[in-house]
Amino acid sequence: MKFTRLAFAATVSAALLLSACSSSDDGSSGGSDGDKAASSGPITDKDVATALAYVGGEGGKADSSLDPFVIGFVNNQGGVPSFQEQEAAADGAVYLINNKLGGIDGHPVELKKCFIQAEEDGQKCAGQLLDAKVNVGVLALSVFGNKSFYDLVGQKFPVINSVSVMPEDSTSKDVYALDGGGLGAMYAMAQNAEDAGYKSLAIITTSNPAGKFLLANVVLPDLKARGIAAKVAYMDEGSTTPQYVTALQTTGAATADAVQLIPSGVAGCVATYDAMKQISLKKPVVTVITCSNDPMPEKTGGGADGWILSGQSDIMEVNTDQSNTVRHSMEAQGGDKFINIGNVPKGFGDILSLAKFARTIGYDKITPEAMNEQILAFKGPDGMIPGTIDGGAHTLQPGLCGNAASNVVYKDGKWEPLEPYKMTVK
């Protein structure tokens, strides 16, 4: 009954620090998946068995003539940067559910989409999803518009936040993150630094609002409490390799024990890697899941050697039953180019979790209250997340349900799992 987490522990997203997005499309996706041939795509019998072991049911194809189970999908998308990988992950999960897992008691899953491009779009998306009478919402990844979205939704339906970075993502009522969130990732990096005996860090991070919030309220206070000194350089979107060279110099990377990298996207990982190579800087690097994303494997010959990555979800580079299910489902839906980007495992897993909750309730009995009860009662394991799940256990962040972050290092030409970081609930 569990979609067991990948045996390979891994990392979090620095995409969790990005801003982006777009306006609503025609408002739907996923329901049409039921019109595609059940035999299409590369999804294997083993993939289906792996997913059914988690969500339950007998499998098969959803009946497109039945009323759908409607998930509202909100994402920063359409601007620069943009998180299309989150949409591709959700579409892949819905394709799998509708074509291979039998939907929700035969009813197809449908995504009602709204994309955020500016602060005011949070209100717009809330209104659109309320009008659509969705059963549950997913806010995939956003660093602005979140609070206004939650305020207007007003507990009318619960919301799963796939990448929790802003305070309202884990403090708003009936808003949940089925993982340790950005909080866990930041603490994991600090713990890795402390365990290695580092006393000074050169921190390279994003200048966007989420990045500055996390640095001021989580990272720097935590490092200070651990007795680790830090100098910080904030990087804008589009910063060049020479600018990263300057950042490494101004933060004293040459004399620091290690570099802590919290980029706004994989471009920051590439630029940091190139900058360190350019000035022959050989220092340990602690960072986040984005630095395992394309094009880093090609750029580095597999991975940046010795870099330790931390985060809320597992990575896609290791073939397991779970990662193959995600990969094949996204390929079947045409999301091939997004598979190794950002928080794909987390976004895919959240949709499967919602299907699991809906099936447990039964289609005819689904209400916002029933979905809330399922989320709060869920103890895990989540499909792609380390540790246990316990909604409401965090006093200060009641919506943050996970208690762990995964760790991995690329060493001697292969990815090696490290012990997951476990948070102390406060």
Report how far residue 323's alpha carbon sits from residue 44's, in angstroms, rounded to the nearest whole number: 13
Q: Map residue 367 onto helix, strand or coil.
A: coil
How many Å separate Cα 295 from the centre of its chain? Answer: 18
Looking at residue 190, its pLDDT comes to 93
Q: Write the CB contacts of 6 (distance below 8 Å, at least 6 apart in sequence).
A: 314, 315, 318, 320, 322, 323, 345, 384
**Domain boundaries of the chain, sorted by first residue:** 18-181+317-403, 183-313+407-422
Report how far residue 188's alpha carbon sits from residue 422's, in angstroms, rounded to the nearest whole number: 8
Structure tokens at 101: 């897992």
Question: Band of the pLDDT at 309, cuts 50, 70, 90?
Answer: very high
Question: Band of the pLDDT at 57, cuts 50, 70, 90?
Answer: confident
Looking at residue 404, its pLDDT comes to 77
Q: Write the CB contacts of 372 (distance below 8 Å, at least 6 apart in sequence).
A: 158, 174
For residue 86, what is the DSSP state? Answer: H
- Whether 18-181+317-403 and 183-313+407-422 share one fold: the answer is yes
Higher pLDDT, 314 or 128: 128
Looking at residue 68, its pLDDT comes to 97
Contact 13/75 with Cβ under 8 angstroms? no
Looking at residue 70, its pLDDT comes to 97
Q: pLDDT, tens digit, for every residue of 38-53?
A: 334 589 999 999 999 9
Report how far residue 319's alpha carbon sits from residue 314's, in angstroms, rounded to the nearest whole number: 11
Question: In the CATH hierarchy, which top-level class contains the domain 183-313+407-422?
Answer: alpha beta
Q: Write the CB contacts of 161 (distance below 8 Å, at least 6 apart in sequence).
A: 138, 139, 169, 170, 175, 176, 177, 399
Residue 210: pLDDT above 90? no
Task: Name which of 160-164, 238-242, 360-364 the model is least confident about.
Answer: 160-164
**How would CATH label the architecture of 18-181+317-403?**
3-Layer(aba) Sandwich (3.40)
Residue 58: pLDDT above 50? yes
Task: Name which of 123-132, 293-302, 410-419 the model is least confident about.
Answer: 410-419
Q: Which helix (H) or strand (E) holds 169?
A: helix 168-171
Higher pLDDT, 44 or 293: 44
Q: Which long-range contacts (CB under 8 A, 24 or more apart) does 332-335 make?
A: 332/40, 332/41, 332/42, 332/43, 332/92, 332/95, 332/96, 332/99, 333/33, 333/41, 333/88, 333/91, 333/92, 333/94, 333/95, 335/85, 335/88, 335/89, 335/91, 335/92
Q: What is the residue-wise DSSP string for 176-198?
A: EBSS-HHHHHHHHHHHHHHHTT-
Question: Band of the pLDDT at 394, cuts 50, 70, 90?
Answer: low
Q: pLDDT, tens digit, for every residue of 24-35?
A: 343 444 443 333
Q: Beta strand 308-311 with 404-411: parallel, antiparallel or unpaired? A: antiparallel
Residue 398: pLDDT above 60? yes
Strands (E) across 62-210 are located at: 69-76, 109-116, 136-139, 159-161, 175-176, 200-206
Give the pLDDT mean for 99-116: 97
Q: Which helix (H) or strand (E) holds 250?
A: helix 241-250
For residue 215, what is the DSSP state? Answer: I
Report how far residue 214's alpha carbon sits from residue 166's, in angstroms, rounded to the nearest whole number: 8
Give the pLDDT mean for 280-290: 94
Task: Name which of 11-20, 25-34, 131-140, 202-211 the model is least confident about.
Answer: 11-20
Q: pLDDT, tens digit, for every residue of 213-248?
A: 889 988 999 999 999 999 999 999 889 999 999 999
Structure tokens at 26: 């025609």
Can you give the C-alpha Rg of the chain in angstroms? Answer: 20
Looking at residue 131, its pLDDT comes to 96
Looking at residue 81, its pLDDT comes to 63
Question: Band of the pLDDT at 12, cuts 50, 70, 90?
Answer: very low
Structure tokens at 391: 């909604």
Between vectors from CA 219 to CA 13 and to CA 165, what angle results, nearest 5°?
Answer: 40
Number of Cβ within 10 Å of residue 236's Cβ equals 10
Higher pLDDT, 110 or 140: 110
Higher pLDDT, 238 or 426: 238
Q: Map residue 283 onto helix, strand or coil.
A: coil
